[in-house]
A and B are shown apart, each in its own frame.
Chain A
Amino acid sequence: MAPEINRRTFVGASITLGGAAAAASALSGCGTDDAPPAGQQTTTVSLRVNGKDEAVDVDARTSLLDMLRERVGLTGTKKGCDQGACGACTVLLDGKRVNSCLTLAVMHDGADVQTIEGVAQNGRLHPLQQAFVDCDAFQCGYCTSGQIMSGLGCIDEGHTGSDAEIREWMSGNICRCGAYTNIVAAVATAAKNT
């Protein structure tokens, strides 16, 4: 059977080509975090991701988000704005929801990280994931992993007393499809069931 080329492999190869083109232009310092230039410090970060120990060599500039996506291979966490304005990159860091784009991977040696890939257990969706399906709480799905990780934090913090409270405490996650009404319903449903 011919080797299957999946979407990520294709996208990854395209990024590599794009990176080569960028390197030829005068964009030093503005490229991707993938290839440390000569002289830039790399550090090994040891941390636990979804219950599994990982040791990752990173350029000091690498965000936690880029480390998860590009080095650990967990692409469920999304990069939306890359400036802390959209919430698509939300993960649980030592149990608390954070924007993984706004923190450096090197700051988190020894940390415990949970991403969307670690939410389902033994092939069963978490009640919040199931509630997103049942409530039709997404359209394009790009913000969904961030919404779910943020929703886990919101429920854990106890900010689900009313729809208004959920709206306020989920405001760090933008949904450009406008699925907010159903996202609030999903979080409220899961809060009752967990």
Chain B
Amino acid sequence: MFPFTFTKAADESSALAAGRSGARYIAGGTTLVDLMRVTVERPGAVVDVNALPYRNVDLDDRTLRIGSLVRMADLAADDRVRRQFPVISQALELSASAQLRNMASIGGNLMQRPRCLYFRDVTANCNRRTPGAGCAATAGLNRNHAILGTSDQCVATHPSDLAVALAALDAVVVTRDSNGDRRIPVADFFRQPGTTPDQEHDLRPGELIVAVEVPTGPGTSRSGYLKVRDRQSYEFAVTSAAVALDVAGGTVRAAKVAVGGVATVPWRLPAVEQALVGRPVSPGLWRDAASRAADGAKPLSDNGFKVELVKRVVERQLATVAGLP
């Protein structure tokens, strides 16, 4: 690990001042400490933001507001979230381990770096780590990599399960810096690699995530997260699906569907949603809609199976969520 200066921000203004001067924010540390140890991350300064007042989960008629420093375990266990937003609780509890969920913050979860092994290996070529260096995964071991949203520069998947659930639910990331607050839809927060894979998100230098807001709605309680992986627990997704359905009178009134493990960013599936809305519920409907889940996919040498898998995962989760009481 390279040397750095460490400070603890007593309040928001000192945190933002440190961020403005280039310090990296640390909350749970589960990504940053890990990547600093393998020298992928080499910040000159780190500022601990855990004393900031972003610890509340508030729910009113219109919005679930999640403070960015709320821990994954605490949000998952919140009764209101379990009842009204089960897809969020499930995505969280299917992530990482109990220990990591006690440590990791919601803001930090969104700021996770890629889990691509070539990204972690400082001796391998990686455009995300070193723009222009090349991508070892494209011609390397890429079974775990993305089939959607890729570019010739980068094919790493986005690792967060929570972000997939938030993308499905039209969540908004609330940020703050010395210029004030911004509200960034999750759909715009994460950037596909394109020609600038090192730019993973929409945050400006020194900007701090304050909260995540999720709109309430008739479909959020009939929701769930399915995660398919190489072992049953404590593993990243090979493919996952977040689904929320508003069903009334045997007809789908609204559908929100996003997938993980297959794309460079949390991946919403508008074509699948459009194929569902206004249609009568039936097993055939789930299959027809899910057939659009891999639209635009570009499989790599080792991950072609994901093209079929993502359709099956979406179909199964549509049927599961539709069958909920």
Contact = CB atoms under 8 A, between A and B. Distances in A.
B69 to A, nearest CB: 13
Contacts of A106: 6, 8, 48
B168 to A, nearest CB: 23
A157 B29 contact: no
B271 interface: no
Given A102-B29, A107-B29, A172 B96 contact: yes
Nearest to A36: B3
Interface in B1-27: 1-6, 8, 26
B112 interface: no
Contact of A61 (B4, B34, B96, B232): B4
Interface in B62-102: 73, 96-100, 102
Nearest to A103: B29
Contacts of A80: none
B192 interface: no
A41 interface: yes
B56 interface: no
Contacts of B6: 41, 43, 60, 104, 106
A169 interface: yes
A57 B255 CA distance: 55
A172 B100 contact: yes
B298 interface: no
Nearest to B6: A60
Contacts of A167: 233
B199 interface: no
A99 B29 CA distance: 11
Given A82-B37, A87-B97, A98 B1 contact: no
A29 B50 contact: no
Nearest to A170: B98
Nearest to B97: A172
B34 A83 contact: yes
Contact of A99 (B1, B2, B8, B103): B103
B234 interface: yes
B39 interface: yes
20 contacts: A29-B3, A30-B39, A40-B3, A41-B3, A60-B5, A83-B38, A84-B99, A87-B99, A99-B99, A102-B28, A102-B30, A102-B33, A103-B30, A103-B103, A107-B29, A107-B50, A171-B98, A171-B234, A172-B98, A173-B97
Q: Which 10 A-B pairs have the closest CB atoms?
A: A172-B97, A171-B233, A60-B6, A171-B234, A40-B3, A61-B1, A96-B102, A29-B2, A172-B99, A99-B99
Given A99-B100, A106-B48, 10 more contacts: A60-B3, A60-B46, A82-B37, A83-B37, A87-B97, A96-B102, A103-B28, A103-B30, A106-B8, A173-B97
